[in-house]
Amino acid sequence: MLTLGIDVGSASSKAVILEDGQKIVSQRVIQAGTGSSGPQRVLDAVFGESGLSWEDFDNSVVTGYGRFSIEEVKNQVSEITCHAKGVAFLVPSVRTIIDIGGQDVKAISLDDRGFISKFFMNDKCAAGTGRFLEVMSRVLELELGAMGEIHFQSRHPAQVSSTCTVFAESEIISLLSKGTPKPDIVAGVHYSTAAKAVALANRVGLRDDVVMCGGVASNKGVIDAISKELDRKVIVAPLAQLSGALGAALIATEEVRRRDKAAAAQDHAPA
């Protein structure tokens, strides 16, 4: 059985091809999201790598902000459901999920069976998101990917109190003009990002294991800041940026199995 999961986010497009609900046949992340060529490019990438086409799949599911943009996929599922499913598959012991994406922050609580019990999402502004970090890196004239390592050079993290991206940008410019070392500003930015995520995690009811997914999970500085703010270890999910697409492929697999089971039951029903 082959299923396809697609996650069209605000900043990137992801796709996973899954065989029998276990083996990943192909996976890809394209740094271009909703309203761009990203969705088609990520599909071209996994189709090209696997040699498969739409006709080869038993089912497909799409999630994310741009989930209505792919006409070939009829099944759309919310990103909360898909991320929870994907992370629970990757880290079965997870009870709290923190997902920091390009434009939002999510906290999800799972029960002992891996089902969603509560969630909160901040999608009203860019504070604490990947977009926030991108803007701050530009002000600091640093590569976004380098900020995670620079974080650990800080001796006295700066106080970045503004939660608004625009005001925080002005705050960073002020710190630079005062001669504050860049590593201290970077660490301050990361702690400001962590504060948003931690507030949501506390609202859903914090339980171990705490697992982080989403594109920002690749930033070791943010992971360090969140771990210290929570005073506990935060696990970075394997394939952290692909967890939504993986969850979508898993849900597609479950739908096929339910359909096959219902068909088999009907075949054996008395005439």
What is the tens place of the pLDDT at every residue in 197-212?
Answer: 999 999 999 999 999 9
Is there a single domain that holds both residue 128 and residue 145?
yes
Per-residue model confidence (pLDDT) at position 262: 86
Band (pLDDT 50/70/90 cuts) for residue 36 is confident
Per-residue model confidence (pLDDT) at position 18: 98
β-bridge pairing 23-30 and 13-19: antiparallel
Sequential DSSP letters for the chain: -EEEEEEE-SS-EEEEEEETTTEEEEEEEES--TTSSHHHHHHHHHHHHHT--GGG-SEEEEESTTTTS-TT---B--HHHHHHHHHHHH-TT--EEEEE-SS-EEEEEE-TTS-EEEEEEE-SS-TTSHHHHHHHHHHHT--GGGHHHHGGG-SS-------SHHHHHHHHHHHHHTT--HHHHHHHHHHHHHHHHHHHHHHH---SSEEEESGGGG-HHHHHHHHHHHTS-EEEPTTGGGHHHHHHHHHHHHHHHHHHHHHHHHHTS--
Could you tell me if residue 88 is inside a domain? no
**Can you read off the two tokens belonging to residue 27?**
């996976």
Is there a single domain that holds both residue 47 and residue 114?
no
Is there a single domain that holds both residue 54 and residue 136?
no
Per-residue model confidence (pLDDT) at position 156: 97
Sequence letter at residue 150: I
Band (pLDDT 50/70/90 cuts) for residue 34 is low
Could you tell me if residue 29 is inside a domain? yes
**Can you read off the two tokens belonging to residue 210?**
């705490």
User: Is the per-residue pLDDT at 163 higher than 90?
Assistant: no
CATH code at position 155: 3.30.420.40
Is there a single domain that holds both residue 262 and residue 220?
no
| Mean pLDDT of the chain, nearest integer | 93
Domain count, the chain: 2
Is there a single domain that holds both residue 115 and residue 48?
no
Per-residue model confidence (pLDDT) at position 186: 98
Is there a single domain that holds both residue 138 and residue 258?
no
Is there a single domain that holds both residue 27 and residue 67?
yes
Band (pLDDT 50/70/90 cuts) for residue 271 is low
Is there a single domain that holds both residue 210 and residue 246?
no
Percent of the chain with pLDDT over 90: 82
**Can you read off the two tokens belonging to residue 97?**
């999920």
Domain of 118 in residue numbering reads as 93-236
Is there a single domain that holds both residue 154 and residue 69?
no
Q: What is the pLDDT of residues 119-141, one digit of tens each?
A: 999 867 777 899 999 999 999 99
**3-state SS class at 117:** strand
Is there a single domain that holds both residue 137 and residue 31?
no
Is there a single domain that holds both residue 124 and residue 204?
yes
Band (pLDDT 50/70/90 cuts) for residue 264 is confident
Q: What are phi and psi of 36, to 5 degrees?
A: -130, -170
Is there a single domain that holds both residue 209 and residue 115?
yes
Q: What is the pLDDT of residues 68-121, one digit of tens each?
A: 888 899 899 999 999 999 999 999 999 999 999 988 999 999 999 999 999 999
Residue 195 Cα to chain centre, angstroms: 18
Percent of the chain with pLDDT over 70: 96
Per-residue model confidence (pLDDT) at position 270: 66
Per-residue model confidence (pLDDT) at position 68: 82
User: Is the per-residue pLDDT at 66 higher than 90?
Assistant: no
pTM, two decimal places: 0.93
Angstrom distance (rounded) from CA 250 to CA 257 = 11
Angstrom distances, CA of residue 148 to CA of 140, 143, 145, 191, 216: 13, 10, 7, 12, 10
